[in-house]
Amino acid sequence: MSRVLVIGCGGVASVAIHKICQVSDVFTDLCIASRTVSKCDVLAEELKGNTKTNITTAKVDADNTDEVIALINKFKPDVVLNVALPYQDLTIMDACLACKVPYVDTANYECEDTDNPEWRKVYEERCKRLGFTAYFDYSWQWAYREKYKEAGITGLLGTGFDPGVTSVFTAYAQKHYFDEIHTIDILDCNGGDHGYPFATNFNPEINLREVSAPGSYWEDGHWVEIPPMSIKREYDFEGVGMKDMYLLHHEEIEALAANIPHVKRIRFFMTFGQSYLTHMKCLENVGMLRTDPVEFNGQQIVPIQFLKALLPDPASLGPRTVGKTNIGCIFTGIKDGKERKIYIYNVCDHQECYREVGSQAISYTTGVPAMIGTMLVAKGVWNKPGVFTTDEFDPDPYMDALNKYGLPWKVDENPVLVD
Ligand code: NDP
């Protein structure tokens, strides 16, 4: 019997909202709010008649905390799910804090304008102190821990697939399979083909920023940073086959390094085809990935935002994408004095996702865990005042929900390791 406010109505939100509407006994009332309210209205119309959840829509500029506060006061949600962009994380967290409503998201805070001098100063200090240069990190949101604790509300960060499910897999491995986890390799393989020469599977701006940045991994208590795409491995994925994968910086490494005792190394690999990398390098070389405004014909434009307008909308890839994803974590460590290795993973089929909710598997594998995290918070199953990542709660109810709501997982007790 919960009221949920979902902010954002893009690819990931659409799946999360479809799933929320499948769980009407928990989510009795839903408000879909976004910058472009017409998108919310279209989705609401599509779902009405197929769900018992009461759906309303609203227009909100989530960059404006007061607007979010006004909306929360009007709709009175029991939980807010932020599936807008990482740029809005702090404004929405502020609004939830002001109204004492639990907050849930799928990606950690990034500053939209990386030339903003105030943000830049903090960022440069952090680069020096921690040793990685990604534009995103948890420090901004972890700064809300005490405030959320005092307010008695839960802040659940990063409940997508990676981060999100990968951290739940880690908590599950820690609870049921290991006395000590020593290494974690997170593997994100997308074997899908959408038929376009170049398109991104989720928001292009966020995606291209992430993959064009230096890679980094955690080893022996510190970060090791490497040039972009400079560590490449091949791996044979069930359901997909042999793929090239590259080491990237990824946000869950930061949380897992802080929270998993004994861990010696954490790496993140994502698969990319050669054509994707060639397109990206070319766009980068000509300046199209720049995030700072450029003057053009008397107007200020941000190249990466202009590029987004040219690329296919990730939400439109659903009908054309075929193939599977295979995402999971390889753990090595010790159990009862013996060495152990396991791979916990999910295989997801793009076309099956499309048939169920009208989206491809990348939105699906993010939107389903977004709903699950929100549901556990709404039901009070995951209820801890403060701000936490998904590895900091009991993984079992989340793992059960993955099986129930479309992302069944498996454990391979003899996986091939990544060298
Ligand atoms: P989209 O670009 O498809 O959707 C973003 C939505 O947010 C749009 O509806 C957009 O509105 C809305 N929005 C943007 N700015 C504002 C604003 N100021 N106020 C209100 N609404 C706003 O993105 P995705 O669905 O692909 O991604 C959503 C989130 O999921 C991102 O944070 C992304 O990083 C995260 N993600 C997480 C993953 C994980 O595994 N953890 C994997 C993939 C994505 P409009 O329609 O007007 O543009």
Q: Is 367 in the pocket of ligand 1 (CB under 6 A)?
A: no
187-196, 200-209, 397-406: least confident range: 200-209
State the CATH architecture for 166-354: 2-Layer Sandwich (3.30)
Cα 292 to averaged position of ligand 1 atoms, centre (Å): 20
Evaluate if residue 201 carries a pLDDT over 90.
Answer: no
* Domain ranges (residues) in the chain: 166-354
Cα 86 to averaged position of ligand 1 atoms, centre (Å): 8
Q: Is 36 in the pocket of ligand 1 (CB under 6 A)?
A: yes
211 pLDDT band, cuts 50/70/90, is confident
Cα 254 to averaged position of ligand 1 atoms, centre (Å): 22
Cα 356 to averaged position of ligand 1 atoms, centre (Å): 21
83 pLDDT band, cuts 50/70/90, is very high
Q: Is 370 in the pocket of ligand 1 (CB under 6 A)?
A: no
Q: Is 386 in the pocket of ligand 1 (CB under 6 A)?
A: no
Mean pLDDT within 174-191: 98
**Type of residue at 209:** R
* b (16+ CB within 10 A) / e for 357-385: bbbbbbbbbbbbbbbbbbbbbbeeebeeb
276-327 pLDDT tens trace: 999 999 999 999 998 889 999 999 999 999 999 999 988 888 899 999 999 9
Mean pLDDT within 134-156: 96
Cα 113 to averaged position of ligand 1 atoms, centre (Å): 16
Cβ contact 289:205 at 8 Å: no
Cα 405 to averaged position of ligand 1 atoms, centre (Å): 22
Q: Mutation test of ligand 1: which of 135, 202, 210, 305 has the most ligand atoms closer than 8 Å to its C-beta?
A: 202
Evaluate if residue 204 carries a pLDDT over 90.
Answer: no
Q: Is 215 in the pocket of ligand 1 (CB under 6 A)?
A: no
| 265 strand-pairing partners | 183, 219
Mean pLDDT of the chain: 96
Give the dihedral sign, CA 94/3/60/388.
positive
**Type of residue at 290:** R
Cα 331 to averaged position of ligand 1 atoms, centre (Å): 31
Q: What is the pLDDT of residue 315?
A: 80
Q: Whose CA is nearest to atom 11 of ligand 1?
A: 35
81 pLDDT band, cuts 50/70/90, is very high
206 pLDDT band, cuts 50/70/90, is confident
Mean pLDDT within 30-47: 98
Closest by CA position to 405, among listed 7, 2, 19, 32 = 19
Tokens 């017409």 belong to residue: 38
Provide long-range contacts, Cβ within 8 A and 24+ apart, for 58-62: 58/31, 58/32, 58/33, 59/33, 59/34, 59/35, 60/7, 60/33, 60/34, 60/35, 61/35, 62/7, 62/8, 62/33, 62/35, 62/88, 62/91, 62/92
Q: What is the pLDDT of residue 316?
A: 87
Q: Is 203 in the pocket of ligand 1 (CB under 6 A)?
A: yes
109-120 pLDDT tens trace: 999 888 899 999
Atom of ligand 1 nearest to the CA of 161: 40
Asked if ipTM goes beyond 0.95, one says yes
Residue 249: Cβ within 10 Å count: 24
Q: Is 356 in the pocket of ligand 1 (CB under 6 A)?
A: no
249-263 pLDDT tens trace: 999 999 999 999 999
Q: Whose CA is nearest to atom 14 of ligand 1?
A: 84
Q: Mutation test of ligand 1: which of 35, 190, 316 has the most ligand atoms closer than 8 Å to its C-beta?
A: 35
Q: Whose CA is nearest to atom 31 of ligand 1?
A: 85
Q: What is the pLDDT of residue 203?
A: 84
Atom of ligand 1 nearest to the CA of 86: 32
Mean pLDDT within 177-184: 98
Q: What is the pLDDT of residue 95?
A: 98
Q: What is the pLDDT of residue 314?
A: 85
60-64, 102-106, 307-311, 332-336: least confident range: 307-311
